[in-house]
């Protein structure tokens, strides 16, 4: 009985650690109504400890990809887009490329672990003014690590919770079934 309790506790702990972190980086934004149907989006990228999947160590962020920039915001190669100093971007090229890709031009411009970087922006005819800083939805962006060049998306928190509950349920079921 004690052995089964220890085994279930160990498996549950591993599952909690595996799904505990929902995002490697957060993107905060505001939207300003410029008038005439034009909106200015301003973004801040916050590196919360991008973990290199190979070494398991944190690394700075060197890229930010807004995944549905054309389909959600109508952006293309003619759009007004701004990047922080030391960064550049590739605008969406519809219908082939829907992403807006920001990238660091040198390691000194990367977002260090635990820090943030402001200055990402674009203008769009799609929007509603949002003056309170708001978290950009998970699944609409990903980040790139500067050392590994690994591209990681964040996972919405409810999905992490659901995965954890399913995993713990399966561990519980397997221990009951094995007795």
Could you tell me the sign of the dihedral formed by the alpha carbons of 147, 87, 28, 123, in that order?
negative
Q: Which residues contact 174 (CB under 8 A, 6 or more apart)?
A: none
In a domain, 9, yes or no: no
* pLDDT class of 4 with cuts at 50, 70, 90: low
In a domain, 51, yes or no: yes
pLDDT tops 90 at residue 150: no
pLDDT tens for residues 87-120? 999 999 999 999 999 999 999 999 998 899 999 9
In a domain, 178, yes or no: no
Determine the Cα–Cα distance for residues 19 and 40; give it in Å rounded to an integer.
Answer: 35
In a domain, 97, yes or no: yes
* Domain CATH code at residue 79: 2.60.40.290
Average model confidence (pLDDT) for the chain? 81
In a domain, 5, yes or no: no
Would you say 120 and 102 are in contact if contact means Cβ atoms under 8 Å apart?
yes
Q: Domain range for residue 100?
A: 24-167
- 81 sits in which H/E element: strand 81-82
* pLDDT class of 17 with cuts at 50, 70, 90: very low
Instruction: Report pLDDT for 21.
Output: 42
pLDDT tops 70 at residue 122: yes
In a domain, 120, yes or no: yes
């Amino acid at each position: 009985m004690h052995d089964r309790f220890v085994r279930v506790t160990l498996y549950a702990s591993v599952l909690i650690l595996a799904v505990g972190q929902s995002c490697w980086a957060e993107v905060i934004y505001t939207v300003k109504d410029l008038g005439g149907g034009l909106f200015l989006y301003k973004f801040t990228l916050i590196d919360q400890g991008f973990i290199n999947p190979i070494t398991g160590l944190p690394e700075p962020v060197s890229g930010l990809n807004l995944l549905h920039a054309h389909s959600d915001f109508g952006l293309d190669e003619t759009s007004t887009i701004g990047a922080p100093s030391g960064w550049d971007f590739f605008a969406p090229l519809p219908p082939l490329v829907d992403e807006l890709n920001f990238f660091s031009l040198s390691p000194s411009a990367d977002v260090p672990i635990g820090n943030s970087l402001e200055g990402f922006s674009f203008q769009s005819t799609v929007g509603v003014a949002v003056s309170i800083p708001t978290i950009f939805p998970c699944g609409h962006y990903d980040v790139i690590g500067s050392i590994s060049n690994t591209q990681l998306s964040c996972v919405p928190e409810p999905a992490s919770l659901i995965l954890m509950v399913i995993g713990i349920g399966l561990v519980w079921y397997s221990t009951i079934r094995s007795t």
